[in-house]
Amino acid sequence: MKKKYLTAIAAGTLLTALLLTGCGNSGKAQSTGNGAASGGISSQAEGNEESAGEEDRDKGMAAGGDLLAQIQEKGEIIVAMEGTWAPWTYHDEEDNLVGYDVEVAKLIAEKLGVTASFVEGEWDGLLAGLDAGRYDMMVNGVDITEERQKKYDFSMPYAYNRTAVIVKGDYEEIGSLEDLDGKHTANTISSTYAELAESYGAEVTGVDDLNQTFELLLTGRIDATLNAEVTYYDYMKAHPDVDIKIATLTSDATQVAIPLRKGAETETLRTAVNQAIEELAAEGKLTELSEKYFGTDISKAE
């Protein structure tokens, strides 16, 4: 697609204009509250978004590569998230897309002077879409890690998060992270939780979402799962009769931030997003949202 597009540009101004007109609206993202409850998008829609994303990125490079300027010109920022990870990003009883990250993304978009449009999908697909230019940013409780910093430029942190090792209520074989050695866990593949479990010797089963994780745990098909401490408390609030517990917690909190593609294209966007996060913190908005969704303030390190 990219090679053909560049060839078309070289062929003449008229053909370029026709190509640009033809692809202008082909990659529409889902609007807030209209996403499927499963958190997915059709393969045809995803293919259309990939094609449009590549073309849009090429146009942006030809126009100077300033992603923020492009976003503000069209008045819309495309935000990727799972939509299945309460209370960060999920669907309420009326199938509206809600959650801490949804509201944070909306407020950041407001600071940028644009509207946030959300596209939902599975974790690996979201990262691939960010890489391909289909999405402008990913807001989905993403922890900063050394490995991810090699590939993405992160915003400043907007939340802090300890990791919990969650087991069934009568399971006593795990009392520390070291006890994960040889145990079976389940998490989204390539998530920091899966990586942490593997680093302590656990065998990790890949899953699509949080509900599938807890189903495996409750049916005894895995020994434990790792997830955000606040996610555990939110799950227990919604399922008070479920017999699970936290076996151990990490001592240090991870930093949650917004990954962007590396390069000059995203520099001004990252600066603007950082300024928005600083303003939201100073205004008390992040604290307010934290307490609304988590019952505690996760927007501060301590």
Cα–Cα distance measured from residue 233 to residue 224, given in angstroms and rounded to the nearest whole number: 16
Contacts of 10 (CB under 8 A, 6+ apart): none
Per residue in 170-205, pLDDT (tens digit) is 999 999 999 999 999 999 877 889 999 999 999 999
Give CA–CA dist 286/247, Å, rounded: 29
* Predicted local distance difference test score (pLDDT) of residue 32: 35
Tokens of 272: 């603007």
Higher per-residue confidence, 18 vs 90:
90
Which stretch, 51-60, 165-174, 206-215, has highest mean pLDDT? 165-174
Average pLDDT of span 39-60: 41
CB 186 within 8 Å of CB 210: no
* Cβ atoms of residues 136 and 258 within 8 Å: no
> Is the confidence at residue 64, as pLDDT, over 70?
no
Query: How large is the average pLDDT for residues 44-48?
Result: 39
Cβ proximity of 59 and 3 under 8 Å: no
Summarised one tens digit per residue, pLDDT across range 111-134 is 999 999 999 999 889 999 999 999
pTM value is: 0.68
Tell me the H-state helices in the chain.
2-11, 13-22, 43-62, 67-74, 100-112, 123-132, 146-149, 192-199, 210-218, 229-238, 267-282, 285-294
